[in-house]
Structure formats: structure tokens, C-alpha cells
């Protein structure tokens, strides 16, 4: 007899409810784990970004503050203004001359930079130092080098100020400004570390206290330090005048924190940047004193080559004296011109050579123009000697 087939049996309502409850518990646990993991990754990424943000500002300031005083003119201030959150100084940080033999000491080359970014700021472009209190206008004079052209050390300003991208009034951002240019943001989401100021300064106290022989922190009562004298090292910027305090700064201590998520460990950035170029009136003279000026070059028109030929004897410090001459620098101008302008050419010093020759084929022919040439030597600091002017050369 064929057996009767039993119809397939499904789940009961109770079984379905139990399954759904178990499934919900498992999914809730899984989603909770994923959400926790996501929050952890976001917190870690945020913290990492903030730490890197703070370190970027640290690295830039370390690199640039160290160069303070590089290639300033003899009477140009080195440190201009200093308080708890603003530090301004002069440094030949950038040049736009691609020919490295012609620039006189810049740290970096940027051929796309304008003259407003690579030269000393002029009185005509004077600014109020951002964050200065009371507002301090700089510069008080134009700074030129020995040939009468604009100095090459630009004004650099670092400043901690309110972070406008944050709703928390405690958050700060670090700005960097060159001369009268637009400030650029280096870092955001920074905070003062407890009650420690962003900037503290170390100075040489021997000029003001004969019992102290080592560096000390600048007294808070002295701040802000302001270079209110137009020229460095000349009256009234002499002796123990207030304006000389700022010239005794030898290092800058920087302290801040990167804003951290709730519950995260504080990340304090703290370091001190030495400024070796401020140790004496112009410490950049590492190769010795300013070179002795060379004898005047002798110029003559060479009709065969259609060039002006300059000849001169080697300088005192070329292979002798301090033996630190690196190059000869040549200028040319029309007779009667007020300034020499930019250098025409450079000739490397080779030590054993007794006389040097340079041929100038860039003069105008057919006008009977009269030219003068100037010659100076430069050492490895680099320091530039005074100029020696040649005879007048008539180009037919």
C-alpha cells in the first residue's frame, strides 16, 4: 500500500520571533563595533592631522628664525619686534636670481618671486607690524647696500592669532608674512600650553648686568621689544639704550599645543631656535673682516673684438691677507648715471692669478657713449668691499 506523504512543515511564529531577536542582537553588536571602530579611526586621523599640522609650523619656524640677520645691511635691524605672540625679523631668505653666482647670500632661490618679496621693505611700503601693541610702523628708513641699491634682507613676521576657522575662542592659528605681503596660514587648531606664552626669548645679559655671564630669559617686563631706532649700532642705538635690548636676543623659545580630541593625550610642541647671526653686530662675517677694496680696473675699447676689456690686479685678500675672497663683482653705468644698478657680472677668484680680465660685449655701438665700471670683492660670508671705479671708456 502506498504511504501517505506528509506536507512540509514551516516555522512557527514563535520561532520566527526568536530568530529575529537573535539576529537583531547580533547586528546591533556588529554595528556598535563598526561605529566604535569608525570613531576610533576618525579620532586617530584627527589627532594625527593636528599633530602634523603643529609640526609643520614648527619646522618652518625652525628653518627661518635661525637665518635672522643673514645678509642684512650694516645698519639694518636684525630683530624688529618681539612679544608673547609676534616675532618679526630681517633675513635674506629668498632671492629671485637664478644665477647663484650673482646673489649675495640668500638662503633659497625662487625665480617667480617679485622684488617686493625678496628685497628689504621700503618706507613707501611701510606696515604696522601685525599684532604689535601699540601698533609699531616699520621700517623707519630705507636700507641700502654699499652700491646704493636696495638691501636684500626682507622682513619676516610670525604671529599666533585667533583661529577664525574654529568656534572655540582658545584655538589659534600660526601666520607667516613677508614684507607687506598677504599673510599665509602655516598651522591651525593650536592652543597656548597652559600659561606659557607662545614666544619666549633668550638674550645675552652681559651688556646690562656684569654679574651674569650666560644667556637668560628676557624679563616679561621688557616686552614688547621694539627696534624703535631707525639704524642699528649708531646713535641713539648705542650703549644700554632700550633699543639695544632687542639686539641682544640670541634665541627664540616656541611653545604651543595641537588641539586634541576629548580624552586624548596633550601634544605639547616646545623647542628653542638659536640665532647665531645676532651674536655680534654682524655675525655673518664668519670669514673675517670686510674685504679690502681692490685696485681700480683699467678699461679700454678693443676695436678688433668690439668689446670693452677690463683688467685689474688681484685684491689684497685674494691669496693673501685673510685669503677669503670668493669672487670679483663688476658693475657698469653710463657716465653721469646716479646709481650702479644690478651687477653686470662676476669673476671667480682663483688665488694664484696676479691679474684678471673681463670682456664686456654688451655695450651700445655707434653712439659714442661713455661708460664707467666699478669693481668690488666679496668674501665667503658673504661680505662686500667698497667699490673701486674705473676710468671712463668711450665706445665709438
Dihedral (CA of 226, 144, 156, 126) sign: positive
Residue 74 · residue 289 · CB < 8 Å: no
> Residue 32: left if φ>0, alpha if ψ -120 to 50, beta else—which one?
alpha
**C-alpha 233: how far from chain center:** 23
Q: What are phi and psi of 127, to 5 degrees?
A: -130, 160
**Where do runs of H (alpha helix) occur along 153-267?**
242-245
Of the two residues 20 and 359, the one the predictor is more confident about is 359
Give per-residue pLDDT as tens, 7-16.
566 667 777 7
CA separation for the pair 100, 95 (Å, rounded): 9
Q: Is the peptide bond before 382 cis (omega within 30 degrees of 0)?
A: yes
If pLDDT is split at 50, 70 and 90, which confidence band does 85 have? very high
pLDDT at 214: 87
DSSP state of 207: G
First vs last C-alpha separation in the chain: 137
Unique residue bearing C-alpha cell 628689504: 120
Unique residue bearing C-alpha cell 647671526: 277
CA separation for the pair 254, 85 (Å, rounded): 10
Of the two residues 280 and 125, the one the predictor is more confident about is 125
DSSP-based three-state secondary structure for 123: helix
Name 196's Cβ contacts closer than 8 Å, sequence gap at least 6: 255
Residue 139 · residue 126 · CB < 8 Å: yes
Q: Is the peptide bond before 134 cis (omega within 30 degrees of 0)?
A: yes
CA separation for the pair 312, 299 (Å, rounded): 9
Q: If we measure between CA atoms, which residue out of 61, 57, 60, 92 comes closest to residue 277?
A: 92
pLDDT at 37: 66
238-253 burial by CB neighbour count: b if 16+ within 10 A, else e? eeeeebbbbbbbbbbb
pLDDT at 94 exceeding the cut of 80: yes
Domains of the chain: 48-278 (no CATH), 298-395 (2.60.40.10)
Half-sphere exposure of 351 (CA within 13 A, CB side): 3
Compute the average pLDDT of residues 209-222. 88
**Where do runs of H (alpha helix) occur along 79-199?**
115-118
10 Å CB burial of residue 378 (0-12, 13-18, 19+) is buried
pLDDT at 200: 97
pLDDT at 157: 97
DSSP-based three-state secondary structure for 225: strand
DSSP-based three-state secondary structure for 307: strand
Percent of the chain clearing pLDDT 90 (strictly above): 49
pTM tops 0.85, yes or no: no
pLDDT at 101: 46
pLDDT at 266 exceeding the cut of 80: no
If pLDDT is split at 50, 70 and 90, which confidence band does 142 have? very high
CA separation for the pair 23, 90 (Å, rounded): 69
Give the number of other Cβ atoms within 10 Å of residue 165's Cβ: 10
Of the two residues 282 and 59, the one the predictor is more confident about is 59
For the chain, the residue count is 396
CA separation for the pair 24, 39 (Å, rounded): 22
pLDDT at 2 exceeding the cut of 80: no
Q: Compute the mean pLDDT over every residue in the chain, rounded to the nearest whole number.
A: 84
pLDDT at 218 exceeding the cut of 90: yes
Q: What are phi and psi of 27, to 5 degrees?
A: -65, -40
pLDDT at 380: 75
Compute the average pLDDT of residues 353-368. 91
**C-alpha 347: how far from chain center:** 28
DSSP-based three-state secondary structure for 147: coil
Amino acid at each position: 500500500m502506498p504511504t501517505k506523504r506528509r506536507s512540509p512543515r514551516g516555522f512557527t511564529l514563535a520561532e520566527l520571533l526568536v530568530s529575529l531577536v537573535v539576529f537583531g542582537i547580533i547586528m546591533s553588536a556588529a554595528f556598535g563595533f563598526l561605529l566604535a571602530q569608525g570613531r576610533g579611526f576618525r579620532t586617530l586621523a584627527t589627532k594625527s592631522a593636528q599633530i602634523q599640522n603643529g609640526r609643520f609650523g614648527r619646522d618652518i619656524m625652525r628653518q627661518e628664525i635661525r637665518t635672522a640677520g643673514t645678509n642684512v645691511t650694516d645698519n639694518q635691524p636684525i630683530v624688529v619686534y618681539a612679544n608673547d605672540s609676534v616675532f618679526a625679523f630681517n633675513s635674506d631668505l629668498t632671492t629671485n636670481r637664478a644665477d647663484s653666482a650673482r646673489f649675495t647670500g640668500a638662503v633659497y632661490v625662487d625665480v617667480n618671486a617679485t622684488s617686493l618679496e625678496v628685497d628689504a621693505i621700503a618706507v613707501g611700503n611701510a606696515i604696522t607690524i601685525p599684532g604689535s601693541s601699540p601698533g609699531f610702523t616699520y621700517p623707519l628708513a630705507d636700507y641700502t647696500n654699499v652700491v646704493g641699491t636696495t638691501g636684500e634682507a626682507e622682513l619676516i613676521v610670525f604671529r599666533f592669532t585667533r583661529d577664525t576657522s574654529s568656534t572655540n575662542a582658545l584655538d589659534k592659528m600660526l601666520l607667516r608674512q613677508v614684507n607687506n605681503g598677504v599673510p599665509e596660514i602655516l598651522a591651525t587648531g593650536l592652543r597656548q600650553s597652559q600659561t606659557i606664552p607662545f614666544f619666549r626669548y633668550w638674550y645675552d645679559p652681559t651688556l646690562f648686568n656684569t654679574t651674569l655671564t650666560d644667556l637668560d630669559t628676557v624679563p616679561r617686563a621688557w616686552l614688547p621689544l621694539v627696534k624703535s631706532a631707525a639704524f642699528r649700532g649708531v646713535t641713539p642705538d648705542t650703549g644700554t639704550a632700550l633699543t639695544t635690548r632687542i639686539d641682544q636676543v640670541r634665541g627664540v623659545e616656541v611653545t604651543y599645543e595641537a588641539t586634541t580630541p576629548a580624552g586624548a593625550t596633550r601634544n605639547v610642541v616646545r623647542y628653542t631656535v638659536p640665532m647665531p647671526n645676532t651674536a655680534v653686530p654682524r655675525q655673518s662675517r664668519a670669514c673675517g673682516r670686510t674685504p679690502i677694496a681692490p685696485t681700480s680696473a683699467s678699461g679700454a675699447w678693443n676695436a678688433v673684438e668690439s668689446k670693452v676689456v677690463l683688467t685689474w690686479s688681484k685684491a689684497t685678500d685674494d691669496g693673501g691677507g685673510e685669503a677669503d675672497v670668493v669672487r670679483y663683482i663688476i658693475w657698469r653705468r653710463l657716465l653721469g648715471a646716479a646709481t650702479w644698478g644690478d651687477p653686470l657680472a662676476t669673476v671667480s677668484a682663483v688665488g694664484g692669478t696676479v691679474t684678471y680680465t673681463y670682456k664686456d660685449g654688451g655695450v651700445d655701438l655707434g653712439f659714442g657713449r661713455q661708460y664707467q665700471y666699478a669693481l668690488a670683492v666679496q668674501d665667503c660670508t658673504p661680505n662686500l668691499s667698497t667699490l673701486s671705479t674705473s676710468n671712463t671708456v668711450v665706445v665709438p
